[in-house]
Amino acid sequence: MFMTASRIKIDGKPLLKLNIHEYDNDDIPFLDSLGIDQLEGDAPNWRYIHIHNQEDFLSTRSAILERYKVLAEKGPKVFLEAK
């Protein structure tokens, strides 16, 4: 599984799009609990959430890192493994 993030604007308002890629079925309840439940087009293993402020981003990232350890950070990708 890996995580990416990008800054985007919707209706002129800046926000962060946090993406989770290549997750397993075991990860779905946890991702749902964080609100990472929006699917990206036809990609079955790519979910995302729009985050509107830094506090929400830090809280979501912290929750992810409590459950997953960082294997590597390569550019915009953070590779994760369940603890």
Asked if residue 72 has pLDDT above 80, the reply is yes
By DSSP bridging, strand 38-40 and strand 43-51 are antiparallel
By DSSP bridging, strand 43-51 and strand 68-74 are unpaired
pLDDT band at 7 (very low <50, low <70, confident <90, very high): very high
pTM assigned to the model? 0.88
Q: How far apart are CA 64 and CA 68, in angstroms?
A: 6
Residue of 24, 26, 22, 29 whose CA lies nearest to 43:
22
Asked if residue 44 has pLDDT above 90, the reply is no
* CA separation, residue 2 to residues 19, 26, 28 (Å): 8, 15, 14
pLDDT digits (tens, 9 = 90+) for 62-71: 999 999 999 9
